Chains A and B, each alone.
Chain A
Amino acid sequence: MPFLQVKDLHVHFPTDDGLVKAVDGLGFTLERGQTIGIVGESGSGKSVTSLAILGLHRRSKAKVSGQILLEGEDLLTVSDDRIRSLRGNQMAMVFQDPLSALHPYYTIGNQIVEAYRIHNSVSKQVARKRAIEMLERVGIPNPNRRVDQYPHEFSGGMRQRAMIAMALVNDPSLLIADEPTTALDVTVQAQILDLMKDLQKEFGSAIIIITHDLGVVADVADDIIVMYAGKCVEKGSVDEVFYTPQHPYTWGLLASMPRLDRARSDRLDPIPGNPPSLINLPSGCAFNPRCAHRSEVDADRCRTEVPELLEARPGQSARCHIDAARRSDVYAQISGTKP
């Protein structure tokens, strides 16, 4: 039985303007000790997915369907009390901007102690010791003094470390990191990613890392899911997605990433157009209005028929009408690399 299995996940938000299909039929599996990276533009459904796993969507606002199996237990059908006992305990989350994600009126220590004591009936002194130990483990100097400080007295990188300490305080087996390094300096980014890798080795947790930064997933993830307009358009191992990408959207993402080994072109190639409205998705393939390779497909199928997520190579699948055999040639042409 896989550790985490997401099957056909739908998260829909009914609004006055229509139904927003933020996540539409997402599926993936994750094993302990493994890291999966979910990549995509803003509004592609990455964060909505992570909040759905933790059960943080309001029932009155979001319609969540499908299955989220954590060690075989479907998180979408369990009671509120049950998912609350898992939240912060078995599965924890690190948020994007640690300054706004930490409570400004409570000390770092208080907030970690609170997270620990919800799930463990221990005294404040024991919890405080645990908090100091966690701060030390995530590399915060002087944890004895730092534990009594407020978030505004921490630097950005230190705040994110404290946030990670808080997430890991109950030894969660699943850690979800939503853009954990976006608000940080590049040098601090690398430190935080290294920290997450080290902690994963130590605790054996499974990690879902959500980012729009391909550099981050290349660094830490084993598998990648590329999301576009609420759907997975490509998934595979990091090496496969980086070296033999199958979907034109992935090609676009790779082409818009600055690279040291590509001296030939001095400009980045952005993907033309904007992400589609999730209420009025384009017919057929949601990416078709922005796709430069529609001519590879006969009879306008891109506009009329929604492509299935099909295996292109063993272990790697993509949601594209372009003939699987043609894709490496097309990609070779546009990227200037040999297939």
Chain B
Amino acid sequence: MSPLRWWLLMLYYIIRRVIAAFLMLVVISIATFAMFYGGPTDPARLTCGKNCTPSSIAANRKFLGLDKPVTAQYAEFVKGLVSERTYPSDPVFAKNNPSLVTHCPAPCLGYSPLQGKLVTDMVKERLPVTLSISLGAFVIWIIVGVGLGIVAALKRGRWQDRGIVAVSLVFYSFPAFFIALLMYNYLSTQWQLLPPPNYVSIFADPGGWFSGLILPWFSLAALYAAGYVRLTRAYMLETMGEDYLRTARAKGLNERTVVFKHTLRAALTPIVTVAGLDLGGLFAGAAITETVFNFQGLGRAVVTSVSVFDLPVIVALVLVAAFFIVLANLVVDVLYGVIDPRVRLA
């Protein structure tokens, strides 16, 4: 296959996958919307919690447009996503209450009366927190998990292997909050080896950003690294039994080239898939880690919004999560087309 033809096929493949991903998001948004706004319960009842009065419910209903049919509500939601929308949704209500008018620029994810602010603003505040935690943890767990997995496979059956597998099993078995609490308590509070967890923006204070994130990074990475050790070790051992490695040795290659070129190339390819999907899932929020260390990320928002039935936030966060997972899938598939020549693009 000529390179030009390959790139054209690749481009065609990416376009097809982007269209499919877009359709997937449409379906997910319809399903979520139908579930929360099309049901027999009254969404307006849930907009003011314990302080609800008949008049505040009626006002919120007009404000969010909940008096319209659910299809019209969905149309307004989609319009907000692609262009913009203005609250209150009811024009007459808006004219009578000019002080309530709120402009929501695209992509408008909705308005939460419980929090009294736009969901988009909330996501914009919290996304950097979640991205910081998950990207940092990702780097650590890939280096540690894959590295130790390779060592374990190369030293199969020896004490190094047994030790690595045993330790990873311990980390793998503990619940995430337990590891996080242990590390918090001992490493930071009691022994003061690590700076206390605290989030500041990387743009405001890069040093403070880094030191405040070390603890969440390591506690989240410990959990994932344990799984990656076992995964990498298994893929390595599977590859080490392949005939083509015997061929590589029969050519006269030294052991280093056989391991680091021929074995790793084949063993690490499937890990790309898993890593991409795990990272995509984490972007939607590392709820437990964020909660333990009191970081205001998307995961925290998911937990609180579900516990108080903050429907606009729930719908928006489901969409954000779906977006990241669909995006991760897309990236992984395209990457696979590049790294595995056997994947057919046509």
List the one stretch of A84-92, A221-229, A308-316 in contact with chain B: A84-92
User: Judging by beta carbons under 8 Å apart, are B250 and A93 in contact?
Assistant: yes
Smallest CB separation, A142 vs chain B (Å): 13
User: Judging by beta carbons under 8 Å apart, are A119 and B243 in contact?
Assistant: no
User: Judging by beta carbons under 8 Å apart, are B244 and A103 in contact?
Assistant: yes
* CB-contacts of B36-84 with A (<8 A): none
Q: Is B341 part of the contact surface with A, judged by Cβ < 8 Å?
A: yes
Q: Is B27 part of the contact surface with A, judged by Cβ < 8 Å?
A: no
Q: Is B247 part of the contact surface with A, judged by Cβ < 8 Å?
A: yes
* CB-contacts of B225-252 with A (<8 A): 242-244, 246-252
Please judge, given known A-B contacts A97-B243, A100-B242, whether A105 and B250 are in contact too, CB under 8 Å.
Answer: no
Q: Is B340 part of the contact surface with A, judged by Cβ < 8 Å?
A: yes
User: Judging by beta carbons under 8 Å apart, are B251 and A105 in contact?
Assistant: no
Residues of A within 8 A of B249 (CB): 56, 87
The contact of B342 among A84, A85, A150, by CB within 8 Å, is A150
User: Judging by beta carbons under 8 Å apart, are B252 and A105 in contact?
Assistant: no
The docked-state distance in angstroms from the alpha carbon of A86 to that of B249 is 12
Please judge, given known A-B contacts A104-B244, A105-B269, whether A87 and B252 are in contact too, CB under 8 Å.
Answer: yes
User: Judging by beta carbons under 8 Å apart, are A85 and B252 in contact?
Assistant: yes
**Nearest chain-B residue to A149 (Cβ)?**
B1
The docked-state distance in angstroms from the alpha carbon of A101 to that of B247 is 6
Q: Is A166 part of the contact surface with B, judged by Cβ < 8 Å?
A: yes
The docked-state distance in angstroms from the alpha carbon of A118 to that of B253 is 7
**Per-residue interface assignment for chain B, residues 244 to 288, with 1 indicating a CB less than 8 Å from any chain A CB and 0 otherwise:** 101111111110000000100110010000000000000000000
User: Judging by beta carbons under 8 Å apart, are B247 and A103 in contact?
Assistant: yes
The docked-state distance in angstroms from the alpha carbon of A103 to that of B244 is 5
**Per-residue interface assignment for chain A, residues 106 to 119, with 1 indicating a CB less than 8 Å from any chain B CB and 0 otherwise:** 11000000110011
Category for how many chain A residues contact B: 20 to 34
User: Judging by beta carbons under 8 Å apart, are B246 and A101 in contact?
Assistant: yes
Residues of A within 8 A of B252 (CB): 84-89, 115, 118-119
**Nearest chain-B residue to A54 (Cβ)?**
B250
Please judge, given known A-B contacts A103-B244, A103-B266, whether A88 and B250 are in contact too, CB under 8 Å.
Answer: yes
Smallest CB separation, B260 vs chain A (Å): 14
**Nearest chain-A residue to B248 (Cβ)?**
A103
Smallest CB separation, B193 vs chain A (Å): 41
User: Judging by beta carbons under 8 Å apart, are A105 and B265 in contact?
Assistant: yes
Residues of A within 8 A of B242 (CB): 100
The docked-state distance in angstroms from the alpha carbon of A105 to that of B336 is 12
The contact of B244 among A101, A115, A152, by CB within 8 Å, is A101
Please judge, given known A-B contacts A95-B243, A100-B242, whether A114 and B341 are in contact too, CB under 8 Å.
Answer: no
Q: Is A102 part of the contact surface with B, judged by Cβ < 8 Å?
A: yes
**Nearest chain-A residue to B251 (Cβ)?**
A88
* CB-contacts of B199-249 with A (<8 A): 242-244, 246-249
Please judge, given known A-B contacts A95-B243, A152-B342, whether A105 and B266 are in contact too, CB under 8 Å.
Answer: yes
**Per-residue interface assignment for chain A, residues 53 to 88, with 1 indicating a CB less than 8 Å from any chain B CB and 0 otherwise:** 010100000000000000000000000000011111
The docked-state distance in angstroms from the alpha carbon of A191 to that of B266 is 32
Listed A/B pairs (24) with beta-carbon separation below 8 Å:
A56-B250, A84-B253, A86-B252, A87-B251, A88-B253, A93-B250, A95-B246, A95-B247, A100-B243, A101-B243, A101-B244, A101-B246, A102-B244, A103-B244, A103-B262, A104-B244, A104-B266, A105-B269, A105-B339, A105-B340, A107-B341, A115-B251, A118-B253, A119-B252
Question: What are the 10 A-B residue pairs with the smallest beta carbon separation, nearest first?
Answer: A88-B252, A88-B251, A87-B252, A100-B243, A103-B244, A115-B251, A150-B341, A101-B243, A93-B250, A101-B247
Binding site for B on A (CB under 8 A): 54, 56, 84-89, 92-93, 95, 97, 100-107, 114-115, 118-119, 148-150, 152, 166
